[in-house]
Chains A and B, each alone.
Chain A
Amino acid sequence: MKYVDEFRKPELIKKTALEIRRLADPNRHYRLMEVCGGHTHAIYRFGLKDVLPENIELIHGPGCPVCILPMGRIDDGLSIASKSDTIFAAFGDMMRVPGTQGSPLEYKARGMDVRIVYSPSDAIKLAKLNPAKHVMFFAIGFETTAPSTALTLQRARREGLENFSVFCNHVTIIPAIRAILDSPDMRLDGFIGPGHVSTVIGCRPYEWIAKNENKPIVVAGFEPLDLLQSIVMLLRQLRDGEANVENQYKRVVPWEGNPSALRAMADVFELRPYFEWRGLGFISQSALRLKESYAQWDAERRFEIPGIRVTDPKAAQCGEVLKGVLKPAQCKLFGNECTPEHPIGALMVSSEGSCAAYFNYEHGKSQLVSIGASA
């Protein structure tokens, strides 16, 4: 298999997998949630589950910023950009996400001016290149991405840019974790913490999970070894009856986070009283909006939006998969009506969505098993 050569330290991977088997108490069933969509993607790609013992279950969390947006918000963004002389700008990830009347790409086919940007700062560049048009940037992402939008807005203000606005759908990870823990459907033993969100917020925001909820959380990197080591660290804590925040991704994540990023966010954004998440419902203080001082660049203030709540298609079980209550394959539409080629819901569109990851990788043999990593 091609990927076998790409795994560095295969011996260490095998050793760590063995350590997991040694540590896992056969009388316990472990439910560990990886919060971040990037981790879900990695877990499926590497076939991590196949080297874990049967009694360790990985539950996929809601850390996919595209997946958690209700269809109504997509509609809202598209309706703003439907006005003539408006350009809808967004990351590539957004282009195929379905609204009720179609995705941005489908709107483009129908004549709307839709552009992919790879950076929010390029949305500003678009505005400068098109002075007769208004550029609306559809901003998505957790705390990893929000600082970049914040800096972009600071620049828009500094330069007095008039034909630019941001439709802000940034969400915050901690309230989502809290909502998961508060959910009666969920019984979890520990968390694999998000890697890149933590480069911004640091590890301190997770301390309440350990102290108040008594669950261990290990912030993890994205390689197979990172994830396996993080599971070892979680199992050790669970064995010893401990609940602490640990940082396995020290090479990238500083405990205190990124002060410049946090300052920029604090200058530009404030928390919405509540925001609707697909699957999790309304969560208080879980999303960002622009402060009054940036009102001129806030698409929601400048334009009328329908603001209509849209539920997912009846048969689609996006919400339950997002919460981790259902596995992707348990959704009735999975693999039939809903595939990456014709997705019904965002979880099948986004590279961080668990349905897309499951669909793309679950069929093949686990790469880790191929290097002999199972005991």
Chain B
Amino acid sequence: MCLAIPGKIIEISDRADRSALVEVVGVRRNVDLGLLEEGSAKPGDWVLIHVGYAMSKISERDAAEQMKTLEMLGECEAAIAEVRGYGLEDSEPKPVT
């Protein structure tokens, strides 16, 4: 559960809720930026995401390394499933066929 998932900010929402569209391995979902200092994140920045909230900004290089770490830990699928589930999309497990 202690997954820190690297993602790239695509677009900052102009709504008051401080959210951003973030992309993780091709999956785009809204993530909350409320734990980052206001104005510190811009499109193109990389962040570490935990349960739908950006926890910190990281370099692109560290983001790539973090993805590798998740792969090493066997947590890649869980991470992508988590991101897919943000916004209640895909939150019911699909039956295995």
Contact = CB atoms under 8 A, between A and B. Distances in A.
Interface of A: 3, 6-8, 36-38, 41-42, 45-46, 65-66, 91, 93, 115-122, 125-126, 129, 141, 144-145, 147-148, 151, 155, 195-196, 199-200, 221-224, 251-252, 254, 258-261, 264, 350-352
A122 B35 contact: no
Task: Using C-beta atoms within 8 Å of the partner chain, give the interface range for chain B.
Answer: 35 or more
A260 B36 contact: yes
Interface of B: 1-2, 4, 17, 32, 34-37, 48, 50-53, 55-56, 58-59, 62, 65-66, 68-69, 71-75, 78, 81-83, 85-88, 91-93
Given A126-B88, A196-B2, A261-B55, A155 B62 contact: no
Given A45-B73, A117-B85, A144 B62 contact: no
Most buried by A among B82, B85, B88: B88
Given A119-B86, A151-B32, A350-B1, A258 B91 contact: no
Contacts of A148: 32, 35, 50-53
Contacts of B52: 118-122, 148
Nearest to B70: A222
Contact of A351 (B1, B37, B53, B85): B1
Most buried by A among B2, B48, B73: B2
Given A148-B35, A148-B52, A200-B55, A118 B1 contact: no
Contacts of A224: 72
A45 B91 CA distance: 27
A3 B34 contact: no
Nearest to A7: B72
> What 10 A-B pairs come out closest when comparing CB atoms?
A119-B52, A118-B85, A38-B2, A148-B53, A151-B34, A93-B1, A118-B82, A261-B35, A119-B51, A148-B51
